[in-house]
Amino acid sequence: MNFIKYVLVSCISFSALFIIAAAVSPANGYQNCSAYGVDCPPASYLVVDKLIRDPRAKGDVYVDHLSWNDYRFSPGEDIIFKILVKNTGPDAITNVDTEDILPNVVNLLNSDGTLDEETREFSRHFDRIESGETEAWYIRVRVKSAQHLTKNIQCAHPDAINRITTTADDMPEARDGSSFCVEKAVLGAIEQPETGASLYTSVLAGIVALSGVAVIGRKFIAS
């Protein structure tokens, strides 16, 4: 009887250790994985980086985001975005499709690709991106006129975030985005930013819309 009890206790202890090990396994870092890391997506070699040109800098300097304290675009001002799609893996990646959703506060001026006027989705396709290769291009947009802006200030808000989604054969979906701020003058005066809980809610909504892309940290890239 004692022997059976010993065997049962040993089995239960071993099972508990196995479950704990599985729970802290790196495989569980992926979303939609089973308890033991089955059916997890492969490590992605498809990387997309969305950047915005900093108007304050001399030359072509691009950053991840421009916050309220960095720069505020005005009605009629141009904004330039830079997109980098990279293959960091050992093999070629095929059938790469990018979908860029234009923010509501701007209109497209020019870029390579196809724009759907109704959905405001801007797309590009690459048959093949070789190992170590990077595809780069630019999108130039213009802030709408003051009378077509629904709010005096748009900052860290879904309407002022340029998002891009990239898909390819046998690769998980890759996403990135750049947030910015638009401000329009009212009777010659400049409206001050919101304060307190309302500003906190607005910024939080922008961060959530970026799907994990931080607004505070900025990476500078000069081309």
Whether 31 is covered by a domain: the verdict is no
Whether 61 is covered by a domain: the verdict is yes
Between CA 132 and CA 89 the distance in angstroms is 7
Whether 112 is covered by a domain: the verdict is yes
Whether 8 is covered by a domain: the verdict is no
Q: Looking at the 3D structure of the chain, how many domains does it have?
A: 1
Question: What per-residue confidence (pLDDT) applies to 100?
Answer: 92
Domain containing residue 215: CATH number: 2.60.40.10
Between CA 39 and CA 32 the distance in angstroms is 8
Whether 96 is covered by a domain: the verdict is yes
Alpha helices in 2-118 (DSSP H): 2-23
Question: What per-residue confidence (pLDDT) applies to 156?
Answer: 75
Between CA 11 and CA 168 the distance in angstroms is 45
Q: Helix, strand, or coil here: 208?
A: helix
201 contacts: CB under 8 Å, gap ≥ 6: none
Q: Helix, strand, or coil here: 111?
A: strand
Tens of pLDDT along the chain (223 residues) come to 554 544 444 554 444 443 434 443 333 333 344 443 444 445 579 999 999 999 999 888 999 999 999 999 999 999 999 999 999 999 999 999 999 989 999 999 988 888 888 888 989 999 999 999 999 999 999 999 999 998 898 887 888 999 999 999 999 999 999 999 999 874 333 344 443 333 333 434 444 444 443 333 334 344 4
Whether 32 is covered by a domain: the verdict is no
List the structure tokens of 199.
């500003």
Q: Which residues pair with 79 in a beta bridge?
A: 141
Question: What per-residue confidence (pLDDT) applies to 43?
Answer: 59
pTM above 0.75, yes or no: no
Q: Helix, strand, or coil here: 220?
A: coil
Count of all residues that appear for the chain in the document: 223
Provide the residue range defining the domain that includes 191. 46-222
Whether 9 is covered by a domain: the verdict is no
Whether 102 is covered by a domain: the verdict is yes
Residue from 210, 202, 155, 154 nearest 178 by CA: 210
Between CA 25 and CA 39 the distance in angstroms is 14
